[in-house]
Structures are given as structure tokens and as C-alpha cells.
């Protein structure tokens, strides 16, 4: 019993240290000055890779076409990834009917570049490579078809590249719309935590993370590292691998942008099954990401969350006293809340914390399930 208690206590301490480092890292990140230059001057291509997104892509493109960024320096490139719905037709019609914008608009169909059998597999990396090759812009900015961008988004993002000549790739915040159901509200709070961890990871030097729904990089840098060469066999992780490659080529050239007016809003998964499958898919790339720090952090969090369920079983079978389990739960509640409350306040979403007690328990279960599931998920099919 004593040895088991020592192991459980060790995992709890590791988790506490991780969360305290993240807390300190985010505190530094939120103090960083975000420069804004109007207009930034560089040309930009917004790239959207889409597969069967007919229900949402028009909202995404309308938000992009209505940004305050100078339209004569804006390209909008949509890559259709073998959609079987009306995605391509909707995009084509929208581009043809919107005449007021000076921006360049392109629709690329992967079916014209890849054999039909590739429709069974995720092709996002290939889609992005084709879009970058077709663009003449200085800066490539990617987002997803289920996202909506704020009006000043590109001005804020591109200003960072004008101000910092050494900057090659920039990750910016992605938050989830609040929704009404428990699963939607959980995802809204979970995304807040992910953004806090992302910002803190850059500040602590532990890892560089990003989300392809709001990622920007110099086209010249993409070409210099040969895009996704070496990682194109892995279905997910286009954002993480590109960040890593560029930061290895130019140390310190990858940054995170702590700016509320650069936040992209994405839609939540509609149910728990879809949510878990999404996170297992995201987690499937973890073993292929180089870097010891991020793997140790992921391992520490996974083992601590799993240990809570182990101690619960031990308590129910009479092997451990209830105080052990309750201490673990209290430790997770405390350090999660300290971190999330600061991040939620920064992004103006403190109202989501009213759901925190329930969300923390769900988080413990989801990390355990998704973490284990990602170890056995190697499918490249849709």
C-alpha cells in the first residue's frame, strides 16, 4: 500500500509542477506587447482545405472576405479534398458572385492532381502544398472551413512579421464557440486550456504547438524547409510538424500570438463520440513529434489522469483509504482551476468556469481514453 501511495503522490507532484510551469509561462505570455501596423504592407494568402464542408464553408469565406486587411494584397485559396457534397460548387459560385472584392480567389480541386484512390485518405498536407505553390503571397495563413475569423485578424497577424524580421512561423489563438450542450461547453473550456498551454509552452521552452485553423508563415520559409517532406506519411499534425521544422531551421523563429483580436472561432464536435475520435486523431501524431520535453509532459498528464481511476478502483476494493483518492482529485481541481481561471479571464470567457467541477472530471476521463486510444490509432483513412 505504501509503495502505491508513493507512486500516486509522485504523479500528483509531477502534474502540479507541470501546471505551475504553465501558469508562470502564460503569465509571461499575456504581458508580451502585440504590435499592430496598419496596413502591414505584406501580401497574404488565406488557405482553406475543405472536405465535405458545404454546411459551413460559406460562413468561413464570408468572414475572410470581410476582413479589414487591404484586399488588393489578399488571396483566398480553397482546396477541395475530394468532397462528395456541394463544397466545390458552393465555393465556385461564391467566388464568381462576389465582385466587390479586389482579392484574388482560387479554387483547387485535388481530384485534378491525385488519383481517385487518394480520396480514401486525408490529404491536407498535399492540399496545403498545392495552395502554397499556387500563391504569390509573402505570408501564408491557414484556417479551417468550419471557422470564422474576426475583421482585424490578418492585420494583427501580419503585423508581427513586419515588426519581427526573424519571425518565420506564427501560431495564433483558436477558440471553440460556446454552444449549449455539455459536450459543446466542455470543448469551449478545453480549447481555452489548450491555448493557455500553447502560449506557456513557447515561454517555458518546453514545446512549440499550434493549430492549423490559425497558423501563419512566410512562403519563403515553407519552401526552404521543403514543406511537409519527411512527415507526409502521417495523416495529422501538419501544424505541429511545420512549426518544429522551421524552429529547428531557425531557432526562435516560431512564436505564439497572445492577441484577442486574432482569435479564430471554430465549431465544436456535435457529440462525445466525434469529440473523442477527433482527439485520438490529434494524439496519433504525438509519437512522431520530435522533442523529449513535450513527450514527458504528455506522459505525466496521461499517467496522472489514469492514476486517479486506479486509486478509485483501489478505494472501492478496500486497498486504499478514501483520503488518497480525494487528495488526487483535489490536487487536479486546484491546479487546473488556477491555470484555467487566468486564461479564461484573458480571453473574456470566465463564465465558462461555472461548469469547471464537472468539466474537470470529464477532462480526467477524456485524457485517459484519448491518450490510450491514440497509442493504437494508426489508420490513415477517413
Q: What pLDDT digit, counting tens, does each position of 187-233 carry?
A: 999 999 999 999 999 999 888 889 999 999 999 999 999 998 866 55
Q: Which residue range forms the structural domain that includes residue 302?
A: 2-27+291-374
Q: 312 and 234 in one domain?
A: no
pLDDT number for residue 366? 86
Looking at the fold, whether 194 and 305 belong to one and the same domain comes out as: no
Look up residue 245 and give its three cell numbers. Answer: 521544422
**Dist. CA 200–CA 195, nearest whole Å:** 8
Check: pTM over 0.85? Answer yes or no: yes
- Angle (deg, nearest 10), helices 322-346 and 2-29: 10
Pick from 237, 268, 299: which residue ends a domain? 268
Cell numbers for 117: 484512390
- Whether residue 345 is found in the same domain as residue 320: yes
Quick check: is 209 in a domain? yes
Buried b / exposed e over 245-281, threshold 16 CB at 10 Å, is: bbbeebeebbbbbbbeebbbbbbbbeeeeebbeebbb
54 and 19 assigned to the same domain: no
CATH number at residue 161: 3.90.550.10
| pLDDT one digit per residue (tens) for the chain, 382 residues | 788 999 999 999 999 999 999 999 999 999 988 999 988 889 999 999 999 999 999 999 999 999 999 999 999 999 999 999 999 999 999 999 886 677 899 999 999 999 999 988 889 999 999 999 999 999 999 999 999 999 999 999 999 999 999 999 999 999 999 888 999 999 999 999 999 999 999 999 888 889 999 999 999 999 999 998 866 555 555 678 899 899 999 999 999 999 999 999 999 999 999 998 888 877 766 555 556 777 888 889 999 999 999 999 999 998 899 999 999 999 999 999 999 999 999 999 999 999 899 999 999 988 888 777 665 555 444 4
DSSP lists the bridge partners of residue 255 as 170
- What grid cell was written down for 266? 471554430
Q: Do residue 61 and residue 105 come from a single domain? A: yes
Task: Give the number of domains in the chain.
Answer: 2
* Cell matching residue 190: 478545453
In terms of domains, do 138 and 13 share one?
A: no
Distance CA 38, CA 354 (A): 38
Are 42 and 167 within one domain? yes
pLDDT at position 291 is 65
Q: Is residue 71 one of the residues assigned to a domain?
A: yes
One domain for residues 15 and 85 = no
Three-state DSSP class for 293?
helix
* pLDDT for 122: 81
Q: Considering the domain boundaries, does residue 325 fall inside one?
A: yes
Are 126 and 245 in a shared domain? yes
Domain identity same for 13 and 136: no
| Residue 283 located in a structural domain | no
With cell 477524456, the residue in question is 366
Confirm whether 354 is domain-assigned.
yes
Q: Which of 268, 300, 334 is the last residue of a domain?
A: 268
Which residue from 315, 333, 334 is spatially nearest to 325, judged by alpha carbons? 315
Instruction: Decide if 150 is inside a domain.
Output: yes
Q: Is residue 117 part of a domain?
A: yes
Residue 379 is predicted with a pLDDT of: 47
Q: Tell me, yes or no, whether 159 and 196 share the same domain.
A: yes
CB 165 within 8 A of CB 176: no
Q: Is residue 274 in a domain?
A: no
CB-CB contact of 48 with 105 (8 Å): no
CA distance 152 to 332: 37
The runs of H, that is alpha helices, within 116-163 are 124-134, 153-163
Q: In the sheet that 174-176 helps form, which strands lie side by side, from edge to edge? A: 147-148, 264-266, 174-176
Of 268, 299, 333, the last residue of a domain is 268
Domain shared by 340 and 262, yes or no: no
Amino acid at each position: 500500500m505504501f509503495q502505491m501511495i508513493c507512486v500516486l503522490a509522485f504523479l500528483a507532484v509531477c502534474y502540479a509542477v507541470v501546471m505551475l510551469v504553465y501558469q508562470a509561462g502564460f503569465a509571461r505570455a499575456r504581458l508580451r506587447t502585440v504590435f499592430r501596423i496598419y496596413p502591414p504592407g505584406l501580401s497574404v494568402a488565406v488557405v482553406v482545405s475543405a472536405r465535405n464542408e458545404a454546411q459551413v464553408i460559406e460562413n468561413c469565406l464570408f468572414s475572410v472576405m470581410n476582413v479589414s486587411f487591404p484586399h488588393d494584397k489578399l488571396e483566398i485559396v480553397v482546396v477541395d479534398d475530394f468532397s462528395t457534397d456541394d463544397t466545390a460548387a458552393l465555393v465556385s459560385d461564391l467566388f464568381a458572385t462576389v465582385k466587390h472584392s479586389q482579392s484574388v480567389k482560387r479554387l483547387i480541386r485535388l481530384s485534378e492532381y491525385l488519383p481517385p484512390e487518394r480520396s480514401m485518405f486525408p490529404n491536407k498536407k498535399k492540399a496545403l502544398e498545392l495552395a502554397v505553390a499556387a500563391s504569390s503571397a509573402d505570408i501564408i495563413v491557414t484556417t479551417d472551413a468550419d471557422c470564422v475569423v474576426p475583421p482585424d485578424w490578418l492585420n494583427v497577424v501580419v503585423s508581427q512579421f513586419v515588426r519581427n524580421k526573424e519571425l518565420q512561423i506564427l501560431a495564433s489563438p483558436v477558440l471553440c464557440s460556446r454552444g449549449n450542450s455539455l459536450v459543446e461547453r466542455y470543448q469551449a473550456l478545453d480549447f481555452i486550456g489548450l491555448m493557455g498551454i500553447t502560449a506557456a509552452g513557447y515561454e517555458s521552452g518546453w514545446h512549440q504547438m499550434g493549430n492549423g485553423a490559425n497558423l501563419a508563415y512566410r512562403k519563403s520559409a515553407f519552401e526552404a524547409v521543403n514543406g511537409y517532406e519527411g512527415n507526409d506519411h502521417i495523416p495529422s499534425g501538419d501544424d505541429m510538424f511545420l512549426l518544429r521544422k522551421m524552429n529547428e531551421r531557425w531557432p526562435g523563429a516560431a512564436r505564439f500570438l497572445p492577441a484577442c483580436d486574432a482569435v479564430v472561432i471554430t465549431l465544436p464536435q456535435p457529440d462525445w463520440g466525434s469529440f473523442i475520435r477527433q482527439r485520438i486523431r490529434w494524439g496519433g501524431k504525438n509519437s512522431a513529434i520530435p522533442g523529449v520535453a513535450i513527450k514527458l509532459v504528455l506522459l505525466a498528464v496521461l499517467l496522472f489522469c489514469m492514476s486517479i481511476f486506479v486509486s478509485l478502483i483501489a478505494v472501492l476494493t478496500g486497498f486504499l483509504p478514501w483520503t488518497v483518492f480525494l487528495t488526487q482529485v483535489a490536487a487536479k481541481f486546484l491546479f487546473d482551476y488556477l491555470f484555467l481561471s487566468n486564461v479564461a479571464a484573458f480571453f473574456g470567457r470566465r463564465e465558462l468556469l461555472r461548469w469547471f467541477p464537472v468539466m474537470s472530471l470529464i477532462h480526467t476521463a477524456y485524457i485517459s481514453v484519448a491518450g490510450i486510444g491514440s497509442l493504437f490509432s494508426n489508420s490513415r483513412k477517413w
